[in-house]
Structure 1
């Protein structure tokens, strides 16, 4: 009989964790988006009972994962066997002892998982979860930023699709003048600003070297991104709405183009609660680049699966991790799977569907191979500082240029709180 228990109560988490050695079940903490993948595993492996505990997956840098593990460490019980996090920086703390408690994350490349399996991940996919040569997690999906545009709208307006950030800004000027109300993106959430715009612009605002953190929002690459945002917010082609909020959805028919992650394919464009695009209207194009910069791009999440070093059921955990990351029917949960064979199958299926115009596969592959490697993965996220400083500041009418120094200082403050030396 399959066993699937879903709960959000901490007391239930602790009970489930304490019972692992007795009932042989594995406890999995994951968000609702990953629930279908967990259910698919249960259907495929009825011999492994699963306790699924739904949480937010640390979305928006909420810190849920770290907070709950700290509570389990204090209680000396209640650890899950597997955790999914939407964040790519959790290895920075999960790979370390915490106040005398053993590191939560299991080392995966020292015999826990076969090296042949680990080698099946897309090159570079496991870099964010590798600390001192040890792999502590498995990426769920890759989330490189590419450029999405509505070919039907652009053709009707007589505009060419931009290929550089300068062209993107110029397109905004044309739309503002000739087609007011049409727009090219939204930065009301805490993630597009840092990851889509600054990371893609090679802005040195979130960098780590050893135990040192540095951020420079006044550097030339940072300043030009701030100026781009200010220009497009001012002419209203970059809105302050949330991508999944009511205002954005209500005006989605006026979205002409948007730089964004690979997972926008399913989560935004093919989502009835999002853009709900028509087949053939949208094109996935290679990432924009700055005219004087390298052909690089940013990355928006991707998510990571972690195995617990406390597990009493390692074989079941291994089976689970391999399934959810490499099975072609569930890997990636709607985005580009991090496991290469699953990624190839996903890309082929998307291309064969004909939903997107243009060369979908080539665009995704170009983005995946050009993520800028100058972005750091410290034990905190730029999203919290953005939400605290930038979101309310922009809403109050301030410019990104006005807010940049305060955003930088808030990131440095957070770095110091978690133990980094700030340069």
Structure 2
């Protein structure tokens, strides 16, 4: 794709210099009905569009389902922007949004959006913002907690750990009880990012008109060294997450915990049926007793693409879909989305007990967690490459070859090189 002035100056600088154009004019006059197109793939989005069109007369939305982002949807969106025939709206993951911005593929809708900022969790709002620009509406988030095999913990007289020191001690006890049992499995890319996110071990930041890459910071090394210690203790399973061996371990009790986002509930239930009734959810362990801070893993936005003919109407729909109670309740039921809007945490779909987790109302835990997600996190503009480079090192580190800290340093070095190759400014 041709480099735009936006891309060359760097995201924050472009915003500061006013190089991010709003695209075309807003309809907003009521003269005639505006039509905007929305590309996405989440189950329930078609229902949301239908409900919006039935209740709104000024804007009409046309929904088109595309392949999930990493499977072709994102490239289709970028190609459409280049060809100047992109839809107004698109489903874009938080981790990918900065790369779209860096390529000049998004419209700044802050003039329409800022009035609704207070409706969303601070961390979610930051995920759709760079500098003063706002590129879409937050849809869902991935507040993290501790999924744990309560039956196993109870059998050993262990309570759910409240600190990472307790977690390490429990890991040793569980493995000592049976050499085939492990506290957890290796975490990769965005799952690992959630662990770093919790204590504020940021990976990226914006300074003036430049990107800062901080993956190898002292804060990150603290998190890395903790998990490296568990590897050294021999208490981390070799089963990769989402592999069949992982699901088997969750079902038979060989893997005792998953430190994961709210959507992991569906993953665990769907892949480890044998664990039904054995598992429970507890708050994410803290680095210091009494602290109350969690990480986030996952989430997406309804982003406004460059060239939208009606950015005001696009925001109207995007904000409505994320905040309408009836519509989002359906999204919870059909897509397992957890709302970024603060007023929606008590939806009916989020207040019932779950038989898989012993009848526990697990969303009560995530509702509390959502309010304490550390808001300091910023995703970088080349996350696909950053994640791939990080995974190369993490795969080796979890198996005892190299260290997690080394993997972070290498990923940082390669990310900085890629940013410079793409003409983005980097400050050390």
TM-score, scaled to structure 2: 0.76
- In the alignment, which residue of structure 2 is the partner of 1:302? 299
Which runs of structure 2 are paired with 1:268-417 in the superposition (5 Å)?
268-270=267-269, 272-274=270-272, 277-279=275-277, 281-291=278-288, 294-312=291-309, 317-318=314-315, 320-326=317-323, 327-331=327-331, 333-345=335-347, 348-351=350-353, 355=357, 360-381=362-383, 382-392=386-396, 394-395=398-399, 397-417=401-421
Structure 2 distance, partners of 1:150, 1:298, is 21
Task: After TM superposition, give the deviation of residue 337 of structure 1 in Å.
Answer: 0.6
Which runs of structure 2 are paired with 1:129-168 in the superposition (5 Å)?
129-168=128-167
- In the alignment, which residue of structure 1 is the partner of 2:30? none
1:392 to 1:262, Cα distance in 2 relative to 1, 3 A: same
1:86 to 1:58, Cα distance in 2 relative to 1, 3 A: farther
- In the alignment, which residue of structure 2 is the partner of 1:421? 426
1:55 aligns with 2:57: no
* Structure 1 gap segments, 5+ residues each: 1-23
- In the alignment, which residue of structure 2 is the partner of 1:126? 125
Structure 2 distance, partners of 1:130, 1:218, is 23
- In the alignment, which residue of structure 1 is the partner of 2:225? 227
- In the alignment, which residue of structure 1 is the partner of 2:250? 252
- In the alignment, which residue of structure 2 is the partner of 1:182? 181
Structure 1 distance, partners of 2:304, 2:417, is 31
- In the alignment, which residue of structure 2 is the partner of 1:108? 109
Structure 2 distance, partners of 1:297, 1:183, is 23
1:405 to 1:135, Cα distance in 2 relative to 1, 3 A: closer
Structure 2 distance, partners of 1:212, 1:46, is 40
When you count helix as a share of all residues, which structure comes out higher?
A: 2
1:403 to 1:153, Cα distance in 2 relative to 1, 3 A: same
Which runs of structure 2 are paired with 1:73-112 in the superposition (5 Å)?
73-75=81-83, 77-88=84-95, 90=97, 92-95=98-101, 98=103, 103-111=104-112
1:201 to 1:347, Cα distance in 2 relative to 1, 3 A: farther
Task: After TM superposition, give the deviation of residue 149 of structure 1 in Å.
Answer: 1.7
Structure 2 distance, partners of 1:25, 1:356, is 47
Asked if structure 1 preserves the Cα contact closer than 8 Å seen for 2:145 and 2:260, the reply is yes
SS in 2 for 1:328: helix
Q: Which deviations, in whole Å up to 9, do the C-alpha atoms of 1:131-152 show, x marking residues without a partner?
A: 3333211112121222222222
Task: After TM superposition, give the deviation of residue 27 of structure 1 in Å.
Answer: 4.0
Give the aligned length. Answer: 380
Structure 2 distance, partners of 1:191, 1:275, is 25
SS in 1 for 2:299: coil
- Which has the larger displacement, 352-361 or 306-315? 352-361
Q: Higher relative contact order by CA 8 Å / sep ≥ 6: 1 or 2?
A: 2
Structure 1 distance, partners of 2:114, 2:378, is 28
- In the alignment, which residue of structure 1 is the partner of 2:24? none
Task: After TM superposition, give the deviation of residue 69 of structure 1 in Å.
Answer: 4.4
Task: After TM superposition, give the deviation of residue 84 of structure 1 in Å.
Answer: 0.8
1:29 to 1:234, Cα distance in 2 relative to 1, 3 A: farther
* CA RMSD of superposed structures (Å): 3.4
TM-score, scaled to structure 1: 0.76
Structure 2 distance, partners of 1:356, 1:319, is 40
Structure 1 distance, partners of 2:99, 2:223, is 30
1:216 to 1:377, Cα distance in 2 relative to 1, 3 A: closer
Asked if structure 2 preserves the Cα contact closer than 8 Å seen for 1:88 and 1:377, the reply is yes
Structure 1 distance, partners of 2:354, 2:256, is 24
Structure 2 distance, partners of 1:395, 1:52, is 43
* Structure 2 gap segments, 5+ residues each: 1-33, 55-59
Q: Which deviations, in whole Å up to 9, do the C-alpha atoms of 1:117-162 show, x marking residues without a partner?
A: 5543234431221233332111121212222222222112221211
